[in-house]
């Protein structure tokens, strides 16, 4: 039997050896991270406090925002910390956690995006039956199924990946621990189990994609038969942001998992991973907020109530 050493740490990808560039990179991703956090937390707060937003569509959007906060918090803080401290290490436990949570949140995200497309399909193609079909129980079941499938894939991917052996090579050609990069540096000759799990995950992603495509084919077919252009524009303004987020997430995610991993870190691989792990959580608040009248109305109502609360509180303090 060959000897396999168990390493306690992995080395993550560094874009440059320049300390100045690493600091710039750290502050850039810190800005992206803070903007993503504030945007997603704002959506969560608005949907929670505004009664007008207590609908299935915004129920899924609220949970998508919570998921995005979790998703971006798995990889970006470690990237920022390593860039600002000029380090590139991650512990074995930290690497396991990154694989589990990245896969879990990615799987849950595509499931929630699929549920959102089903919600739009029912709302547009069967509006008279919308309240009966998309009731609270159905929404909760779809959300629970999304988290269940995501967690299941997280367990399978992390168990399969770290059941392999890692020898002398500990340099992960990626800025976080992901399955393709870890398979690249594994010294195990056979990883049929992981390959099967990867195929299973891609099959599930393909099933979700087919479901979404069918939903939007029916949606656009229904929209194009609408007599009023105003109704069409409203539907397109609701559906197009969803398609933008979905396309960015799926195309870059599939590319990251199917593209051969190079022997040395490449800028292209870094950008592809950023687009599926960092950009969707950052894009969601911007896309859904700037083009959504209900969200903007909820924000103005919240600010109006906050302003009046401060006014009456100051008035009360002066009268005492």
Structural domain includes residue 164: yes
Can you say whether the dihedral through the CA atoms of 105, 154, 93, 17 is positive or negative? negative
For helices 279-290 and 19-49, what crossing angle results, to 10°?
Answer: 40
Structural domain containing residue 282: 9-315
Q: What is the pLDDT of residue 14?
A: 78
Structural domain includes residue 2: no
Query: What CATH number is given to the structural domain containing 299?
Result: 1.20.1070.10
109 to 60, 149, 196, 281: CA distances (angstroms): 10, 10, 22, 10
Structural domain includes residue 175: yes
> DSSP letter at 90?
E
Give the global pTM: 0.84
Q: What is the pLDDT of residue 282?
A: 83
Structural domain includes residue 96: yes
Calpha distance 241→277 (Å, rounded): 18
Calpha distance 246→295 (Å, rounded): 20
Structural domain includes residue 59: yes
Domains contained in the chain, number: 1
Q: Which of 61, 35, 37 is nearest to 294 (CA)?
A: 61
Structural domain includes residue 170: yes
Structural domain includes residue 4: no
Residue 267, both tokens? 């800028």
Consecutive 10-residue averages of pLDDT for the chain (320 residues): 54 80 90 91 86 86 92 91 87 91 93 90 89 92 95 92 79 85 79 82 87 87 73 68 75 77 71 81 75 65 59 52
| Rounded CA Rg of the chain | 22
- Side-chain-facing half-sphere of 250: CA atoms under 13 Å: 21
Calculate ∠ Cα 34-286-103, nearest 5°.
Answer: 65
Structural domain includes residue 320: no
């Amino acid at each position: 039997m060959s000897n396999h050493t168990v390493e306690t740490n992995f080395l993550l990808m560094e874009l440059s050896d320049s300390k100045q560039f690493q600091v710039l990179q750290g502050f850039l991703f810190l800005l992206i991270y803070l903007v993503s956090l504030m945007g997603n937390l704002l959506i969560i707060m608005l949907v929670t406090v505004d009664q007008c937003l207590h609908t299935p569509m915004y129920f899924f959007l609220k949970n998508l925002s919570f998921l995005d906060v979790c998703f971006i918090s798995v990889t970006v803080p470690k990237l920022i910390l390593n860039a600002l401290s000029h380090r590139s290490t991650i512990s074995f436990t930290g690497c396991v956690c990154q694989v589990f949570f990245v896969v879990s949140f990615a799987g849950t995200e595509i499931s929630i995006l699929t549920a959102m497309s089903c919600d739009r399909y029912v709302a547009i193609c069967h509006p008279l039956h919308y309240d009966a079909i998309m009731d609270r129980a159905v929404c909760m079941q779809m959300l629970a199924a999304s988290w269940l499938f995501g967690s299941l894939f997280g367990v399978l991917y992390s168990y399969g990946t770290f059941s392999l052996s890692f020898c002398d090579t500990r340099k992960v050609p990626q800025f976080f621990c992901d399955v393709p990069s870890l398979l690249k540096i594994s010294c195990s000759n056979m990883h049929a189990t992981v390959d099967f799990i990867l195929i299973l995950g891609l099959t599930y992603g393909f099933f979700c994609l087919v479901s979404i495509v069918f939903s939007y084919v029916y949606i656009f077919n229904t929209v194009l038969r609408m007599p009023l252009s105003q109704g069409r524009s409203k539907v397109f303004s609701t559906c197009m942001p969803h398609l933008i987020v979905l396309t960015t997430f799926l195309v870059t995610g599939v590319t990251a998992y199917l593209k051969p991993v190079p022997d040395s870190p490449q800028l292209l691989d870094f950008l592809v991973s950023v687009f599926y792990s960092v950009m969707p959580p950052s894009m969601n608040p911007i896309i859904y907020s700037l083009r959504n009248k209900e969200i903007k109305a909820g924000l103005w109502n919240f600010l109006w109530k906050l302003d009046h609360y401060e006014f009456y509180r100051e008035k009360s303090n002066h009268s005492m």
